[in-house]
Amino acid sequence: MARMNDPSESAISLIRTARRIVAFSGAGISTEAGIPDFRSPRGVYSNSDAVEWLSASGFRRDPAAFYRASMDLFSTIARAEPTDAHRLLVRLEEMGKVEAVVTQNIDGLHAAAGSSKVYELHGTWRTGRCSECGAFHNMLPLYDRILQGGTDAPACCLCSAPVRPDIVLFEELLPVEAWQGAVEAVGRCDLMLVLGSSLVVYPAAELPMMAVSAGAKLVIVNLEETSYDRAAAAVVHGRLGEFARAALAALSPAPPAPPAS
Ligand code: APR
Ligand code: ZN
């Protein structure tokens, strides 16, 4: 078990030799972009009724309460930039090593960083749909209207029912195509790279063991221990930014030697 003062060489050498990596990210990959995670001491769930407002029944009961409680998070996401860990996955994709990025995050930072195949298991904050007629809505202008006090809960442009973001709320199923894509990629990978997840929410948390059962190695980079650490070929407990910078340095080609003088 390597510590972060010397980013785990075994994790980096497993990444170096892997040919088909599936990266599996959680909220921990975006905390250094300023977006809180969920279960750390100052995470989203430190606000006790957060689970209530992040539920489908909570939204149906009181859409305005859903937006009151989630606009801080959405405004933070709107200002966030990809981190070095997001950039590490783009670099690995440029090296032809990435099968897919599977994320539990709704912040869109993997695509913003340049990852091209991203499965968003818990949906996205960017788009939404009418809770009645299902009409598609681009959520960004609607968030602006809420922030400017123009509305408490945006209404559908077709039927005036409340509009909701395309995020998977508690009591809801994962988007089928994202889940199927993720499971297929996991079945093909030779390395599952878990970045910043407590691995406690199912079915997403089944994926690392699916990868191991399919013969892949497991690498976990997370501040805290997870219940899957024992199944991992390498575990790095520490900050993802530090690990990503060390991995980027280790994986980047050495600068050409100066011409002999
Ligand atoms: N570097 C490394 N690890 C970090 C960092 C960091 N900078 N910041 C936080 N972490 C770790 C935390 O220690 C924690 O173990 O990331 C993990 C984040 O865990 P959670 O807050 O539980 O987030 P996540 O695993 O993504 O939750 C999964 O739960 O409620 C649902 O839909 C929600 O998608 C979310 C899902
Ligand atoms: Zn509608």
| Choice from 4, 8, 39, 170 to test ligand 1 binding pocket (greatest atom count within 8 A of CB) | 39
Predicted model pTM: 0.94
| Choice from 38, 44, 86 to test ligand 1 binding pocket (greatest atom count within 8 A of CB) | 38
Q: From residue 242, give the alpha-carbon distance in Å to each of 43, 110, 117, 245.
A: 21, 18, 24, 5
Structural domains of the chain, with CATH: 1-34+80-122+174-253 (3.40.50.1220)
**Residue 122 appears among annotated catalytic residues:** yes
Question: Ligand 1 in contact with 31 (CB < 6 A)?
Answer: yes
Question: Ligand 1 in contact with 224 (CB < 6 A)?
Answer: yes
- What pLDDT, on a 0 to 100 scale, did the predictor assign at position 254? 66
**Ligand 1 atom closest to Cα of residue 43:** 21
Q: What 3-state DSSP class applies to 17?
A: helix
* pLDDT tens digits, 129-182: 999 999 999 999 999 999 999 999 999 999 999 999 999 998 899 999 999 999
Is residue 219 within 8 Å of 15, Cβ to Cβ?
A: yes
Residue percentage of the chain with pLDDT more than 90:
86
Give every CB contact of residue 4 below 8 A, 6+ residues apart in sequence: 236, 237, 238, 239, 242, 243
Is pLDDT above 60 for 5?
A: no
- In Å, the largest CA–CA distance within the chain is 76
* pLDDT tens digits, 7-36: 578 999 999 999 999 999 999 999 999 999
Whole-number average pLDDT of the chain = 93
Question: Ligand 1 in contact with 50 (CB < 6 A)?
Answer: no
- What pLDDT, on a 0 to 100 scale, did the predictor assign at position 6? 61
Kindly state the tokens that stand for 71.
Answer: 């606009």
Q: How many C-beta atoms lie closer than 10 Å to residue 190's C-beta?
A: 18
* pLDDT tens digits, 35-82: 999 999 888 888 877 777 888 999 999 999 999 989 999 999 999 999
Ligand 2 center–CA 146 separation, angstroms: 18
- What pLDDT, on a 0 to 100 scale, did the predictor assign at position 48? 72
Give every CB contact of residue 179 below 8 A, 6+ residues apart in sequence: 119, 121, 203
Kindly state the tokens that stand for 151.
Answer: 């509305």
Is pLDDT above 50 for 248?
A: yes
Confidence of residue 235 (pLDDT cuts 50, 70, 90): very high
Residue of minimum CA distance from atom 36 in ligand 1? 201
- What pLDDT, on a 0 to 100 scale, did the predictor assign at position 260? 78
**Ligand 1 atom closest to Cα of residue 196:** 16
- What pLDDT, on a 0 to 100 scale, did the predictor assign at position 49? 76
Question: Ligand 1 in contact with 198 (CB < 6 A)?
Answer: yes
Closest ligand to 220 CA?
A: 1
